């Protein structure tokens, strides 16, 4: 795949590739579920393991002895204790859970970082990103695929400047993460809204009307009968999306739509873990309190074997 083809694929993925006529395109950014397991500690701690470690990492602990699990858990606790005061608070635990759930984002950033930090100085400048991403294609005024790479570059530059907090056009790894995954950062949410509105607002009046809203999700493609979900979306737009009933969505309404204030699953799980492990009820955890309840936080051969026995008895 050459650079032009890669950029085309990237742009289509970013703009949510065109759906089949009967499929619904979803622009809403939801916080992911912490686990697909049922949260029932009376049966097992599988949900807590997935929440605390991430589902893939949780599987590796199931292969360890209890002693190995405790040792590795102790090392994790040292990372969670951000201020190094010897205690893990609800907020520190919440931040860790969110990190564990979004580890794929940081892995993605690491991959892209290597390809864009051209001078290997531990920073990525706008010039480095521009040259590595677009390179020679900007010199061709009439690309074969008809795609406007210069327009893409202008949009990328605007987002890069938004992510670059100190305005020096040089991104730290954290700023580069905000550039690549803006929906994860509060200070980047306005640019997510702006880019979404530009994608959907076909008449460029600064608003999203009902037909633009539906047209972004569904293509009639010659069909006169709309699927039931399209009719439901029309009702959703009128009843809930268009809050001031003026027939269109502005920036605030669009933000409420695509970036809803979801229930904070990570905070709820952090409070649950603290409540279950806090032996002296001071509202925070020591390493000893966490390791003592290691079977709640992580699995091992012992806990996995115990759960297998429970399942066998039920069977």
Q: Could you tell me if residue 195 is inside a domain?
A: yes
Name the more confident of 231 and 18.
231
pLDDT, one tens digit per residue, over 142-167 is 666 556 788 889 999 999 999 999 99
Tell me: pLDDT of 181 over 60. Answer: yes
Predicted TM-score (pTM) of the model is 0.70
What are the two backbone dihedrals, phi and then psi, of residue 285, each rounded to the nearest 5 degrees? -115, 140
Tell me: pLDDT of 300 over 70. Answer: yes
Looking at the structure of the chain, the number of domains it has is: 1
Interatomic CA distance for residues 18 and 222, integer angstroms: 16
pLDDT, one tens digit per residue, over 11-27 is 444 444 333 444 556 78
Please give the mean pLDDT across all residues of the chain.
85
Q: Are strands 208-209 and 170-171 parallel, antiparallel or unpaired?
A: unpaired
Q: Could you tell me if residue 98 is inside a domain?
A: yes
Which residue in the block uniquely carries the two structure tokens 């795949």? 1
In DSSP notation, 104-160 reads HHHHHHHHHHHHH-TT-SS-EEHHHHHHHHTGGGGG-SS-TT---HHHHHHHHHHHH
Please report the pLDDT score of residue 221 as a whole number.
Answer: 73
Percent of the chain whose pLDDT exceeds 90: 63
Q: Could you tell me if residue 10 is inside a domain?
A: no
Q: Could you tell me if residue 313 is inside a domain?
A: no
Range of the domain at 274: 39-207+250-299
Q: Could you tell me if residue 127 is inside a domain?
A: yes
């Amino acid at each position: 795949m050459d650079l032009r083809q890669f950029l085309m694929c990237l742009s289509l993925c970013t703009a949510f590739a065109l759906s089949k006529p009967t499929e619904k395109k979803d622009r809403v950014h939801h916080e992911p579920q912490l686990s697909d397991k049922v949260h029932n500690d009376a049966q097992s701690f599988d949900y807590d393991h997935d929440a605390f470690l991430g589902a893939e990492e949780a599987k590796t602990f199931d292969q360890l002895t209890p002693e190995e699990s405790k040792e590795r858990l102790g090392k994790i606790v040292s990372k969670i204790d951000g201020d190094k005061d010897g205690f893990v608070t609800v907020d520190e635990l919440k931040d860790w859970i969110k990190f564990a759930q979004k580890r794929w984002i940081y892995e993605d950033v690491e991959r892209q970082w290597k390809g864009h930090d051209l001078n290997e100085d531990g920073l990525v400048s706008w010039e480095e990103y521009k040259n590595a991403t677009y390179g020679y294609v900007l010199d061709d005024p009439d690309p074969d695929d008809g795609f406007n790479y210069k327009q893409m570059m202008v949009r990328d530059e605007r987002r890069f400047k938004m992510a670059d907090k100190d305005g020096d056009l040089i991104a730290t790894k954290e700023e580069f993460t905000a550039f690549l995954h803006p929906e994860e950062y509060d200070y980047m949410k306005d640019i997510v809204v702006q880019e979404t509105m530009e994608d959907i607002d076909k008449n460029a009046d600064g608003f999203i009307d009902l037909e633009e809203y539906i047209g972004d999700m569904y293509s009639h493609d010659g069909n006169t009968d709309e699927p039931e979900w399209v009719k439901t979306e029309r009702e959703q737009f009128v009843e809930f999306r268009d809050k001031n009933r003026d027939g269109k969505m502005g920036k605030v309404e669009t933000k409420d739509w695509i970036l809803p204030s979801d229930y904070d699953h990570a905070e709820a799980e952090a409070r649950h873990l603290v409540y279950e492990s806090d032996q002296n009820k001071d509202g925070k955890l020591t390493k000893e309190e966490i390791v003592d309840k290691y079977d709640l936080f992580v699995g091992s051969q012992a806990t996995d074997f115990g759960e297998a026995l429970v399942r066998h008895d039920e069977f």
